[in-house]
Amino acid sequence: MADERLKGKGAIVTGGSRGIGRGICVGLAAAGADVAVNCRDNPEEAEEVIEQTQKLGGRTIAVRANVADRGEVEDMFATVRGELGSIDILVNNAGICPFHEFLTMPEGLWDEVQAVNLKGTFLCSQAAARIMVEPGRGGRIISISSISALVGGGMQTHYAPGKAGQRSLMQSLAIVLGPHGITCNSVLPGTILTDINAEDLSDPHKRDRMLKRIPAGRLGQPEDIAGPVVFLASEEARYVNGAELLVDGGLFVNLQ
Ligand code: NAD
Ligand code: RM4
């Protein structure tokens, strides 16, 4: 029987054309949602994921916007609302992690990481919430934070604080938006193989060390994140608000 948990729901996934975002778009579409795939630069980047999601039956569109730019974000939400009819689910997935050591970290790189990962989450959440607070609507805001919100990273002194901020923002928004029937939660992936870490994990020593720490015995795949996001977007998760779901194959707890 077809999964219809999200039938009739409109969703936006930022940074949806690649990696984890792409897996989430496919997961939402497989559960019946209509999906807007956000791309930073070129909507053609979304062609493959649109082909994949359309086969699943729902409507899928591509929409361009830099999530760090308020004007572009506002235009994106207006376009998606017009095209899909409603916006019930926002997944703040867009993110960057330009690995860099601390002592020589340029101020501009720090700013860029916070602008995309944290301010982008603020801008998109605010734009979504302004629609979701309208009487009778409600909604779901889900942010793809990280295991890096819980632990440090020697080459992530810009990224980890931003990811912790993203998780913290969801907690505060859960309080503000809960009375409007909007839940705000975070998903914290562990190490998932995507373009963001391909170069970092090409170091066999690093990859091996990471693999040995993961009780599941493998690095994560984008599809591993989709199920938890669909759950948080669904009616089954109606009473989950201000929470986080760590999806890391057991990496975090494997310390001793
Ligand atoms: P990725 O590089 O494959 O995908 C990132 C996506 O974000 C791309 O589609 C990119 O175009 C988009 N993006 C970047 N800047 C943008 C902007 N300004 N506006 C709009 N879109 C923008 O990496 P990924 O691993 O799929 O990362 C997705 C999210 O998951 C990120 O927030 C990342 O921090 C988080 N995450 C990843 C891992 C991992 O191990 N891969 C672990 C934890 C959290
Ligand atoms: C994640 C986590 C992963 C890393 C990516 C880039 O949040 O820290 O281990 O590979 O970021």
Residue-wise pLDDT for 133-165, tens only, equals 999 999 999 999 999 999 999 999 999 999 999
Atom 8 of ligand 2 has which residue's CA nearest to it?
148
Query: Is residue 191 lining ligand 2, measured as CB closer than 6 Å?
Result: yes
pLDDT for position 58 = 86
Q: For residue 1, is pLDDT > 80? A: no
Helix, strand, coil percentages in the chain from 3-state DSSP, rounded to 5: 45, 15, 40
Query: Is residue 252 lining ligand 2, measured as CB closer than 6 Å?
Result: no
Say how many Å lie between the CA of residue 16 and the centre of ligand 1: 9
Q: State which amino acid sits at residue 195.
A: D
Catalytic residue flag (residue 163): yes
Q: Which residue in 146, 148, 186, 234 is the catalytic one? A: 146
Closest ligand 2 atom to Cα of 210 = 9
Every domain of the chain and the residues it spans: 10-247
Tell me whether strands 60-64 and 10-13 are parallel, antiparallel or unpaired: unpaired
Sheet of 89-92, strands arranged across: 60-64, 34-39, 10-13, 89-92, 139-144, 182-189, 244-247
pLDDT for position 2 = 86
Please write the tens of the pLDDT for every residue from 51-73. 999 899 889 999 999 999 999 99
Q: Which residue has the tokens 């170091």?
A: 203
Closest ligand 2 atom to Cα of 163 = 7
3-state SS assignment for residue 11: strand
Half-sphere exposure of 62 (CA within 13 A, CB side): 18
Query: Is residue 125 lining ligand 2, measured as CB closer than 6 Å?
Result: no
* CB-based pocket (< 6 A), ligand 1: 14-15, 17-21, 38, 40, 66-68, 93-97, 116, 120, 144, 146, 189, 191-192, 194-197
Atom 4 of ligand 2 has which residue's CA nearest to it?
191
Please write the tens of the pLDDT for every residue from 91-124. 999 999 999 999 999 999 999 999 999 999 999 9
pLDDT for position 45 = 87
Superfamily classification of domain 10-247 = NAD(P)-binding Rossmann-like Domain (3.40.50.720)
**Which of 47, 40, 48, 42 is CA-nearest to residue 13?**
40
Q: What are phi and psi of 12, to 5 degrees?
A: -115, 130
**Which of 125, 230, 131 is CA-nearest to residue 184?**
125
Catalytic residue flag (residue 146): yes
With 0-12 / 13-18 / 19 or more C-beta atoms within 10 angstroms meaning exposed / middle / buried, residue 70 is: middle
Catalytic residue flag (residue 7): no
pLDDT for position 141 = 99
Say how many Å lie between the CA of residue 148 and the centre of ligand 2: 7
Find out whether 99 and 200 touch, Cβ atoms under 8 Å.
Answer: yes
Ligand nearest, relative to CA of residue 17? 1
Q: What are phi and psi of 156, to 5 degrees?
A: -130, 35
Please write the tens of the pLDDT for every residue from 190-237. 999 999 999 999 999 999 999 999 999 999 999 999 999 999 999 999
CB atoms within 10 A of CB 214: 18
Rounded to 10°, the helix 19-30/223-233 angle is 50
